[in-house]
Each structure stands twice: as C-alpha cells, then as structure tokens.
C-alpha cells in the first residue's frame, strides 16, 4: 500500500477507536478549543508535539517552522502568537528546539542555501553572539548541541521583546515562557529556561512602563 493511502486508512481507524473509547469526543471538539499552551517547534518530522507529550487534541495550539524560530518580521508566527495569547489566552508558550536540528546545522556551515539564507541568518546571529564560547568547543556534535540550546533560549527572549507578550503580561500576568529541548537520542524533553509572566525586561526592549526590569 502507498504511504498516502495508508494515511487515510490509519485516520479512519484512529477516529473509530476514539469514538469507541469516548463516544462524545468529536461532539465536544466541534464547538470550541481551549488550549492551555502554545507550542512553537521545529517542522522536523521526528518531533510531533502532541505525540511526544502524550496530549489530546485541543490541548496545544501549535506553530512549527524550520528550527523553531520567532522572528520579528515573520507575520505567520506573529499571527499565531497573537491569536494564541490574546484570543485563546494560553497560560504557557513553549519554544521547543531539538538536538540533531538540520536547520541549526545548516547555519553552522559555509554554504549558500538560497531562500533559506535569510531564515538561517537568525541562527548565524545567535552563533555570532556566543562565538567566544562556541569556538572553544572542539567537538562539532557538541558545538551543534550547544548552538541548539542558545538558539532555543534566544527565541524565548525574542518572544519577550514582542508587544504581544508584553501587553499580555501587563494586562493579565500570563503567559509564562519556556525554552525546552527535545533529545532525539532518548525521546525526553529537557528544560533550558523558564521565564515567569511579568519577568523584568531590559529597558531598551520595554514597551510598557508598568513592566519592570533592568
């Protein structure tokens, strides 16, 4: 059987099993969604967010792109973030990077990747900021992992700089922000950083005077 036909058949089986275990499941799903979390992850096929966190449909609003980046000029991700934070009022935003990220690896190499150059430049910037530390790491795989950590944390800091997050912190003291990394080698998530809602924001990035910070 072709892979594409298998998808339709497996979907039928999944829906039937859902109905069997919980006859009102799809009835409930039809009316609204109230996800508690926005997940910003990599498009990589090995990291399906609901599967690795064992969550039901309806639990997480999801945005995925190459290397899980939050870019200030990317209307796609900003629209998702605004809707999740302002309309759905999620309590948490997770940026989940992963070891073995091809996007991060591509940004470590001297190569021209066409359209991707502009996107990956965001990772090259992170590399540049941390070059003194990264250049000390001789093992390339280890340096790659460390750059995944730095890139993931940088996206959480990018979130903090948006008016969407700052406005929401000023208004309703949520959401909290989380930098996580998925370890392909074990299937387990690692917490890199947690930023509670209302945390201090450096003066040069602060858009709302009521938010404190250095």
- Of 85 and 147, CB closest to Zn ion: 147
- Of 30 and 45, CB closest to Zn ion: 45
44 binds Zn ion per the rule CB under 5 A: yes
Q: Considering only 76-84, 99-107, 127-135, 201-209, which stretch makes contact with Zn ion by CB under 5 A?
A: 99-107
The rounded distance, in Å, linking the Cα atoms of 214 and 207 is 13
The rounded distance, in Å, linking the Cα atoms of 65 and 198 is 27
- Of 69 and 165, CB closest to Zn ion: 69
DSSP string for 189-211: EEEEEEE-TT----GGG---TTS
Angle at 144 between CA 113 and CA 71, to 5 degrees: 55
149 binds Zn ion per the rule CB under 5 A: no
Q: In what order do the strands lie in the sheet with 37-42?
A: 60-65, 37-42, 92-98, 176-183, 188-195
User: Does the annotation count 178 as an active-site position?
Assistant: no
How many residues in the shown chain lie near Zn ion by CB under 5 A?
Answer: 4
Which of 42, 90, 160, 181 contacts Zn ion by CB under 5 A?
42
Q: Phi, psi at residue 71, to the nearest 5°? A: -115, 130
Closest approach, Cβ 194 to Zn ion, in A, equals 22
The rounded distance, in Å, linking the Cα atoms of 103 and 183 is 16
Closest approach, Cβ 68 to Zn ion, in A, equals 7
181 binds Zn ion per the rule CB under 5 A: no
- Of 38 and 42, CB closest to Zn ion: 42
Instruction: List residues with catalytic annotation.
Output: 42, 44, 46, 98, 101
Please report, as ranges, the residues that interact with Zn ion according to CB under 5 A. Answer: 42, 44, 101, 103
């Amino acid at each position: 059987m072709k892979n594409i036909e298998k998808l339709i058949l497996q979907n039928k089986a999944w829906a039937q099993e859902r109905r069997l275990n919980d006859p009102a499941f799809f009835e409930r799903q039809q009316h609204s969604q109230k996800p508690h979390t926005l997940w910003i992850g990599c498009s990589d096929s090995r990291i399906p967010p609901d599967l690795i966190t064992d969550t039901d449909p309806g639990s997480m609003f999801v945005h995925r792109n190459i290397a899980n980046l939050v870019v200030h000029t990317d209307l796609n991700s900003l629209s998702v973030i605004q809707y999740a934070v302002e309309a759905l009022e999620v309590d948490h935003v997770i940026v989940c990077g992963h070891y073995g990220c091809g996007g991060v690896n591509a940004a470590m190499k001297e190569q021209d990747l066409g359209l991707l150059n502009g996107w990956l430049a965001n990772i090259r910037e992170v590399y540049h900021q941390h070059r003194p530390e990264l250049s000390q790491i001789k093992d390339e795989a280890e340096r790659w992992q460390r750059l995944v950590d730095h890139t993931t944390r940088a996206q959480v800091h990018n979130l903090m700089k948006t008016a969407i997050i700052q406005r929401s912190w000023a208004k309703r003291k949520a959401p909290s922000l989380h930098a996580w990394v998925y370890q392909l080698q074990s299937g387990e998530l690692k917490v890199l950083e947690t930023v509670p809602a209302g945390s201090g924001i450096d003066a040069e990035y602060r858009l709302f005077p009521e938010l404190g910070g250095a």
